[in-house]
Amino acid sequence: MGRPGLIARAAIALTLAAVSPSLAAAQVEKRIALVIGNSAYKDQPLQNPVNDARAVATRLRQLGFDVVMRENATRAQFSSGIAEFSAKITATSVALFYYAGHGMQVRARNYLIPVDAEIETESSVPFSAIDVALVNETMDQTGARVRLMVLDACRNNPFERRRGLGSSRGLASMEAAHGALVAFATAPGSVAADGDGANSVYTGALLKALDEPGLKAEEVFKRARLMVLEQTRGAQTPWEQSALVGDLVLNPQVAALGASAIGIADREAIFWQSVQSSNRSDEYEAYLKQYPQGAFASLARSRLGVQSPQPATLSVPPLPPLPPLPSPPAATQAAATAAAVTTKSGLPIDPIDKEYVAAQTVRLRESPDVRSKQLAVLREGDPLTIVGKVNGRPWLQVERGGAVPAYVSSWLVEERAAYWMRRGVDIQQAGVAAPLAAEAAARERSFRDCPACPEMVAIPGGSFMMGSPPTEIGRSEAEGPQHAVSVRGFASGKYEVTVSEWVACVADGGCSRHLEEKSWTSAARRDTHPVTNVSWEDATQYVAWLSRRTGKRYRLLSEAEWEYAARAGTTTPFYTGASITQEQANFVADDKSVYYEQTVDVGSFRPNRFGLHDMHGNAWEWVEDCYNPTYIDAPTNGAAWTSGDCSRRVVRGGSWSNLPSGIRSAFRSKSTISTRYDNYGFRVARTE
């Protein structure tokens, strides 16, 4: 009975493809959109951008787009949206960026204004706003076959009236690159109306144009332009610059059969019919993503060379278990908590009196927050007297002999007796043996080849499953197919390369990129933060300098080494398990409960089982590999993939501006080798 049904559906698929090729194309092509609407400005809030963005997002989803959405975005949230958007795009994608909100031009460059922008002078604009050219460049770098940029950002702008700000009205003209179209709500240098209804004049017209099936992309924008001209009586003229080289129908039409007549099973048959003869893995993965239990799922997995998801078997050498996570305070402690002392910020402190030891390099803070002022630095083995625990948070209060109290993360210290017993040192002798024992323990796990060199950790060799299973939440096609990789032992930087380590390279003449004041030496870029705003080319300068300086072979990690080291024997999305919290890494939580909005000191969070810090979040890390859109034909020996698009290199680990899905062990992105962003850094490797 099942076989005739499949044949019938395949016949319908062939009929529909013949009647309306655009429908079949829409089912196959990957459509990705980033939609941002900013209304809640302090100086001059706008009525419609969030409404506009929501309406556009809804319509695009109906047209088959996978939509990344941001409302009232800060600069960091803007950046995280761009990163999430670009990571989803492949070479066969249609990529669309829509923005509604304030925009401005300075010296003929266009900027989009986050809701937290602090713009007083012309020089502050690049640091507070989002350069449209960078968004454009990011879209170009993805290699998407079609790229559309829609800017409803020409409203009357309060920032343009600031003293000393030499900006002009509206936005400046832009050239569209090959395969791209740029659309403005009004002509360059002009101002558009926000609108008195639920949507702006321009977005309202665009939504109506998108409702008309069968129109090519250029015709959609032309139709919207005519409606705006009519509604504003010629006062506002939308403007486009197109360099599209093919026909894109945003709203496909079925001539012989209405879309409502096509059932779910028939849509699946249409989809499978369009990919079944393909030799592209991303098209089979697209089918599995939409129909993981579909009629053709087993066949799709077979063609990918992937079995139904099974738990991966790893040959990683046994490692000590992670210390247990701190438990939330029990209800029976409520009475004690009520009588507890508090921190300056009002957090309750449960008094305790115990001797602890620094389990690694430890920074004492003014308050229980990695962003707070650093009061002192302790080395591994140094003693601490703990006088309190911050209730419900993994922070301890440290006795400082009458000075201002200090705080330390509970993950970075260990009770004195347990610390020395674990190292085979009699507790009665620990006072004398501590410095020697700590030094011996440090030598076992890590080393430095010179005083200014990064601290390195020896990573044991082993095998693992690289990539993510089709069922992992947040997965992109770039993370597959999963495949077994064997990695030889190597040494990895314990931390991301820091600002002070970069400065040493510059001072020695090995690195040419000096640290500009505004980007590097503020409180947000202390010596102990990871160095950022460095390109892949800058990172390769640094490892070349380290190699010359030490006579050892330093390099960037390969992508396979990076994922192997990040996982540290785990098969879950994060090395912390199926989920991760902001007490474990520096990233943007879904609920925005804590947001650091910048890098933090390396080593502020608990390491993974290999002893590596910040493999999730803090700063993106350049790796050696050229970019390839999938893992088909990827090396299986742990080596870097040195073929493919070598003008773009892979970055791993996510950053302070990414959501959890963007910091997973399997997540990967890419950028051109000269790209510098304030969340791009790197980590080094060394082999004998």
Instruction: Determine the average pLDDT of the residues in 363-377.
Output: 83
Phi and psi at 289, nearest 5°, equal -65, -40
571 is a domain residue: yes
User: Which pLDDT tens digit goes with each residue over 530-573?
Assistant: 999 999 999 999 999 999 999 999 999 999 999 999 999 888 89
Q: Which residues pair with 241 in a beta bridge?
A: 182
Distance CA(117)–CA(42), nearest Å, equals 9
632 and 662 in a single domain? The answer is yes
- Per the model's pLDDT, the better-predicted residue between 275 and 100 turns out to be 100
Number of domains in the chain: 4
292 and 397 in a single domain? The answer is no
User: Which pLDDT tens digit goes with each residue over 168-223?
Assistant: 556 776 777 778 899 988 876 666 655 566 788 999 999 999 988 888 899 999 98
User: What's the length of the chain?
Assistant: 688
**Amino acid at the residue 456:** M
Q: 499 pLDDT exceeds 60?
A: yes
pTM for this entry: 0.47
319 is a domain residue: no
Which of 548, 557, 508, 506 has the alpha carbon at shortest distance from 527?
506
178 is a domain residue: yes
Confidence label for 312 from pLDDT (cuts 50, 70 and 90): very low
Distance CA(193)–CA(49), nearest Å, equals 11
Distance CA(391)–CA(372), nearest Å, equals 18
pLDDT score recorded for residue 401:
66
287 is a domain residue: yes
231 and 299 in a single domain? The answer is no
Confidence label for 382 from pLDDT (cuts 50, 70 and 90): confident
**Amino acid at the residue 668:** R
**474 touches 573 (CB < 8 A):** yes
Q: Which domain holds residue 595?
A: 448-687
**500 touches 528 (CB < 8 A):** yes
220 and 301 in a single domain? The answer is no
638 and 655 in a single domain? The answer is yes
Can you give the three-state secondary structure of 89-124, one letter per residue? Answer: CCCCCEEEEEEECCEEEECCEEEECCCCCCCCCHHH
pLDDT score recorded for residue 270:
57
Distance CA(632)–CA(610), nearest Å, equals 28
267 and 179 in a single domain? The answer is no
pLDDT score recorded for residue 562:
98
* Rounded percentage of the chain residues whose pLDDT exceeds 90: 29
* DSSP character string of 133-169: HHHHHHHHHTT-SEEEEEEE--S--GGGGSTT--EES
Which residues are CB-contacts of 371 (< 8 A; sequence separation ≥ 6)?
596, 598, 600
367 and 418 in a single domain? The answer is yes
Confidence label for 281 from pLDDT (cuts 50, 70 and 90): low
Distance CA(674)–CA(215), nearest Å, equals 39
Structure tokens at 647: 């003008």
**601 touches 594 (CB < 8 A):** no
For the domain that residue 399 is a member of, what is the CATH number? 2.30.30.40
Confidence label for 119 from pLDDT (cuts 50, 70 and 90): confident
User: Which pLDDT tens digit goes with each residue over 125-161?
Assistant: 878 888 888 888 888 878 888 999 999 986 555 555 5
Which residues are CB-contacts of 247 (< 8 A; sequence separation ≥ 6)?
216
Instruction: Determine the average pLDDT of the residues in 629-656.
Output: 94
**What torsion, rounded to 10 degrees, do the Cα atoms 7, 11, 12, 17 define?**
140
Strand pairing report for 383-390 and 395-398 = antiparallel
SS3 content of the chain, % helix, strand, coil (to 5): 30, 20, 45
488 and 604 in a single domain? The answer is yes
Which of 653, 644, 570 has the alpha carbon at shortest distance from 613?
653
Average pLDDT taken over every residue of the chain: 77
User: Which pLDDT tens digit goes with each residue over 400-434?
Assistant: 766 678 898 887 788 876 666 555 544 344 443 43
**Amino acid at the residue 625:** D
Which residues are CB-contacts of 160 (< 8 A; sequence separation ≥ 6)?
104, 167, 168, 169
**139 touches 86 (CB < 8 A):** yes
Q: 163 pLDDT exceeds 50?
A: no
236 is a domain residue: yes
**Amino acid at the residue 397:** Q
pLDDT score recorded for residue 565:
95
Q: Which of 187, 209, 242 is the last residue of a domain?
A: 242
Q: 38 pLDDT exceeds 80?
A: yes
CA distances from 672 to 236, 364, 392, 612 (A): 38, 38, 43, 27
pLDDT score recorded for residue 643:
94
Using CA of residue 669, residue 105, residue 224, residue 217, what is the dihedral sign? negative
SS3 60: helix
For the domain that residue 562 is a member of, what is the CATH number? 3.90.1580.10
- Per the model's pLDDT, the better-predicted residue between 372 and 388 turns out to be 388
Burial pattern 607-642, b for ≥16 Cβ within 10 A else e, equals bbbbbbbbbbbbbbbbbbbbbbbbbeebbeebbbbe
489 and 471 in a single domain? The answer is yes
Structure tokens at 373: 């002022």
Comparing 48-52, 421-425, 476-480, 495-499, the range with the smallest average pLDDT is 421-425
Q: Compute the half-sphere exposure of residue 643: CA atoms within 13 Å on the CB side of its CA.
A: 5
Confidence label for 247 from pLDDT (cuts 50, 70 and 90): confident
Distance CA(250)–CA(215), nearest Å, equals 7
Distance CA(471)–CA(466), nearest Å, equals 15
Q: 342 pLDDT exceeds 80?
A: no
Q: Which of 438, 462, 491 is the last residue of a domain?
A: 438
* DSSP character string of 233-257: TTS---EEEE---S--BSS---SSS
**508 touches 626 (CB < 8 A):** no
Comparing 154-163, 223-232, 296-305, 490-499, the range with the smallest average pLDDT is 154-163
**585 touches 616 (CB < 8 A):** yes
328 is a domain residue: no
Which of 30, 20, 77, 24 has the alpha carbon at shortest distance from 53?
77
For the domain that residue 107 is a member of, what is the CATH number? 3.40.50.1460
CB atoms within 10 A of CB 365: 22
pLDDT score recorded for residue 11:
37
492 and 609 in a single domain? The answer is yes
Q: Which of 257-261, 309-313, 451-455 has the highest mean pLDDT?
A: 451-455
284 and 425 in a single domain? The answer is no
Structure tokens at 233: 């009586």
Q: 232 pLDDT exceeds 60?
A: yes
Element holding 375 (H helix, E strand): strand 374-378
Q: Which of 218, 242, 266 is the last residue of a domain?
A: 242
Comparing 272-281, 294-303, 421-430, 660-669, the range with the smallest average pLDDT is 421-430
pLDDT score recorded for residue 277:
55
User: Which pLDDT tens digit goes with each residue over 583-610?
Assistant: 889 998 766 556 677 899 898 888 888 8
The vertex-207 CA angle with 203 and 208, nearest 5°, equals 120
Which residues are CB-contacts of 460 (< 8 A; sequence separation ≥ 6)?
316, 317, 489
Distance CA(684)–CA(159), nearest Å, equals 42
Instruction: Determine the average pLDDT of the residues in 631-636.
Output: 92
- Per the model's pLDDT, the better-predicted residue between 158 and 115 turns out to be 115
Distance CA(542)–CA(503), nearest Å, equals 10
Phi and psi at 203, nearest 5°, equal -65, -35
Distance CA(537)–CA(540), nearest Å, equals 5
331 is a domain residue: no
347 and 200 in a single domain? The answer is no
333 is a domain residue: no
